[in-house]
């Protein structure tokens, strides 16, 4: 059963099974609506059996039992019910309930919990095991429509595109940068006790430079509660609100620039930044734990420089070149992709910030000594992202040993190696390699995630529908529901990363990382090898993402139980 079918089935079930409340008398806008009288025998509801008979207008109501549940229906002719005002948030009037039975109505607390239990049974009954087990980490996902038949030229980065690295590289970067902090910046040797924590940080996080806080921010510049860390310990949400003036919002001017490098907040976008985030957290934790006074701004600059030294001094390049089998993953897949593209007449180029000697060693390992024959243009030490915007630095050619030549470059020739910049030209279609997709899709495909997320959405929809119950008993029930909702959010987050959750979502919004991914990438995938699953005339179509006013027509919302729109069952077939 697909999720689409599940959504429609859950909606129908909610209409036919979930609405067991005594009917509400509504104030019709059209005069002289005929009414229908419904009578039923004893039926189970909540904690006991009730006998009920009610009258209702022709228009379906979200709180009226479905006719399929009732054994008898009779029309009362031309009897009319007088108009009465309807109470709603922000609307004048009082909502009244009318009963034609002498049986006393169910108390509010029992009524709310009956609705809760009905909905929970529906979620468990309607969602079959493996309902979300449809995702494949080898899929290419589209943010924009892309027809590969129209793509004649393919350009590649080297690091984490043509060459994927093992996690062992992050450990080496962390350990070496930690050593620089002690040897070069004279930090206390006690920091050596902090080993690298592989699953602590996640890509796309923000760092408040002045406050020394690592956090996760959504696409609207709001901090996700529960994801703010000072050192290796979470900061209570109440303290976060105090630190940011009573709000979770981070002003745009603090987080600006192409890579989120504002004056106070920096976003860590690339995979190489994960060791840096972990070292920042460890160093902060050391000073805090040992009650040593320090300036978070100085710490940030020192850690950034220490990480930079690992790259500038060539340590990372040396490690990889000395043990290619240990650090480079899936090289045979890169070879297969390049062979396929060239065999079908596509032109290729390579642009990387890495030096030629490093690229040459890795490409020879993955593809062979003649790897340069695949590429029409190879550009190294490009200094991206300035490469795409700075037109001042001219190209320079490198010889076979990687040494710079001095002649002026009039054109780019196949088989040659070039250094420096090129102006950005419009019209390029872009694709992002996101290795984290492999693990994230595994989580999304689990039954536990599917059930937690569906119940979270359903509970949220139930709270939205029933929030007009504001008596003391109802408020107490809502507090219990809200606590459960928060627990579900934490459980869902922890399935990805206990500290920061998914790199793509906060509680319900896309992350800032997702926003940038959608803005700058037409396609995204786990690895370059995903291209092998598609022919080169394939067209990628993005899914139409519903806006909020479109939400009731979509499967994702049909599963929530929100049902904000009348006649939703009749509309559920519209896609």
Determine the straight-line distance between the first and last CA of the chain, rounded to whole angstroms.
17
| Residue 144 to residue 518: CA distance in whole angstroms | 9
Say how many residues make up the chain. 575
Cβ atoms of 457 and 488 within 8 Å: the answer is no
Can you give the C-alpha Rg of the chain in angstroms? 30
Burial class from Cβ neighbours inside 10 Å (0-12, 13-18, 19+) for residue 407 reads: exposed
- b/e string for 502-541 if b means 16 or more Cβ within 10 A? bbbbbbeebbbbbbbbbeebbbbbbbbbbbeeeeeeeebe
Given the residues 63, 157, 237, 447, the one annotated as active site: 157
Residue 127's nearest CA partner among 456, 446, 458, 451 is 451
DSSP conformational letter for 216: -
Cα–Cα distance between 311 and 240 in angstroms, integer? 34
| Residue 544, helix vs strand vs coil | coil
SS3 303: helix
Does the bond joining 385 to the residue before it have cis omega, within 30 degrees of 0? yes
List residues bridging with 230 in a β-sheet.
Answer: 213, 233
Output the CA torsion sign for 162, 384, 150, 524.
positive
Query: Active site residue: 63, 118, 159, 390, which one?
Result: 159
Torsion angle defined by CA atoms of residues 535, 539, 540 and 546, in that order, rounded to the nearest 10 degrees: -160
Identify the helix (H) or strand (E) that includes residue 348.
strand 347-351
3-state secondary structure of 349: strand
The phi, psi pair for 342, rounded to 5°, reads -65, -40
Q: Is 157 a catalytic residue?
A: yes
Taken in order 74, 80, 84, 86, the sign of the CA dihedral is positive
Q: Is 159 a catalytic residue?
A: yes
Residues involved in catalysis: 157, 159
């Amino acid at each position: 059963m697909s999720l689409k079918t599940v959504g429609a089935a859950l909606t129908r079930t909610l209409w036919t099974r979930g609405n067991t409340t005594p009917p509400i008398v509504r104030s019709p806008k059209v005069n002289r609506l005929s009414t229908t009288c419904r009578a039923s025998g004893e039926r189970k509801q909540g904690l006991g059996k009730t006998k009920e008979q009610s009258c209702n207008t022709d228009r379906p109501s979200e709180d009226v039992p479905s006719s399929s549940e009732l054994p008898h229906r009779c029309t009362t002719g031309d009897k009319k019910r007088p108009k009465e005002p309807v109470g709603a948030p922000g609307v004048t009037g009082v909502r009244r309930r009318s009963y034609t039975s002498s049986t006393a109505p169910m108390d509010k607390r029992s009524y709310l919990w009956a609705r809760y239990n009905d909905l929970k049974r529906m979620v468990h009954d309607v969602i079959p095991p493996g309902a979300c087990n449809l995702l494949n980490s080898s899929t290419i996902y589209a943010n924009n429509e892309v027809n590969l038949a129209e793509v004649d030229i393919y350009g590649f980065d080297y690091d984490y595109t043509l060459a994927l690295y093992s996690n062992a590289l992050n450990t080496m970067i962390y350990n070496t940068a930690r050593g620089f902090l002690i040897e070069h910046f004279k930090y206390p040797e006690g920091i050596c006790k902090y080993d690298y924590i592989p699953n602590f940080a996640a890509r796309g996080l923000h760092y408040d430079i002045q406050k020394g806080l690592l956090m996760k921010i959504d696409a609207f510049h709001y901090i996700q509660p529960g994801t703010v860390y000072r050192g290796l310990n979470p900061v209570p949400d109440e303290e976060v609100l105090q630190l940011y003036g009573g709000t979770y919002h981070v002003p745009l001017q603090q987080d600006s620039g192409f890579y989120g490098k504002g004056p106070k907040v920096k976003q860590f976008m690339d995979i190489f930044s994960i060791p840096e985030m972990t070292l920042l957290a460890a160093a902060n934790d050391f000073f805090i734990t040992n009650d040593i006074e320090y300036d978070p701004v100085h710490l940030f600059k020192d850690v950034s420089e220490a990480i930079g030294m690992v790259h500038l001094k060539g340590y990372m390049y040396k490690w990889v070149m000395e043990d290619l089998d240990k650090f480079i993953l899936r090289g045979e897949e890169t070879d297969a992709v390049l062979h396929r593209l060239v065999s079908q007449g596509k032109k290729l180029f390579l642009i990387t910030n890495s030096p030629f000697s490093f690229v040459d060693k890795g490409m020879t390992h993955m593809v062979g000594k003649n790897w340069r024959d695949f590429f029409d243009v190879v550009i190294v030490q490009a200094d991206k992202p300035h490469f795409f915007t700075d037109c001042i630095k001219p190209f320079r050619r490198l010889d076979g040993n990687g040494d710079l030549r001095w002649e002026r470059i009039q054109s780019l020739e196949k088989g040659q190696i070039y250094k420096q910049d090129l102006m950005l030209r419009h019209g390029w279609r872009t694709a992002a390699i996101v290795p984290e997709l492999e693990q994230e899709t595994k989580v999304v495909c689990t039954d536990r995630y599917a059930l937690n997320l569906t119940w979270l959405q359903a509970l949220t929809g139930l709270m939205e529908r029933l929030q007009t119950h504001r008596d003391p008993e109802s408020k107490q029930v809502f507090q219990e529901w809200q606590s459960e909702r928060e627990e579900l959010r934490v459980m869902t987050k922890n399935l990805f990363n206990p500290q920061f959750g998914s790199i793509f979502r906060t509680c319900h919004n896309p992350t800032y990382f997702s926003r940038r991914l959608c803005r700058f990438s037409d396609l995204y995938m786990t690895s370059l090898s995903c291209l092998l699953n598609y022919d080169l005339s394939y067209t990628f179509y993005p899914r139409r993402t519903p806006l909020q006013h479109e939400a009731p027509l979509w499967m994702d919302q049909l599963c929530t139980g929100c049902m904000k729109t009348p006649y939703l069952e009749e509309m559920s077939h519209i896609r």
